[in-house]
Amino acid sequence: MEFNGVTTLVLYAVIIAIGVGGLAGSGVMTTDTVLMMVAPSMAIFGALMVGLGIKYGEHRATN
């Protein structure tokens, strides 16, 4: 599988949706809490990890 911008964005959205859907459906927290607190923090953390992964890949490709 070749990762380009579209593939990465789709996989990112699917992983976040699975995590948020699982938490919302499990009944551990209220849906409001999941959507207002957990989903944004998952999205921000995921974006940071994608950014770090891209930079690490660039580093590995040049060294």
Reported as a single tens digit per residue, the pLDDT across 20-33 is 999 999 989 999 99
Average pLDDT, the chain: 92
Decide if 33 is inside a domain: yes
Band (pLDDT 50/70/90 cuts) for residue 36 is very high
Domain total for the chain?
A: 1
Task: Please report whether residue 10 resides in a domain.
Answer: no
| In-domain check, residue 58 | yes
Q: Above 70 in pLDDT, residue 4?
A: yes
**20: in domain:** no
Show the tokens assigned to 4: 């380009």
pLDDT at 37 over 70: yes
Model pLDDT, residue 1: 64
- Per the structure, the complete domain to which residue 44 belongs is given by 27-63
Residue 36 DSSP code: I
How far is 51 from 63, CA to CA, in rounded Å?
19
In a domain, 14, yes or no: no
pLDDT at 63: 87
Q: What is the number of H-type helices and E-type strands within the chain?
A: 3, 0
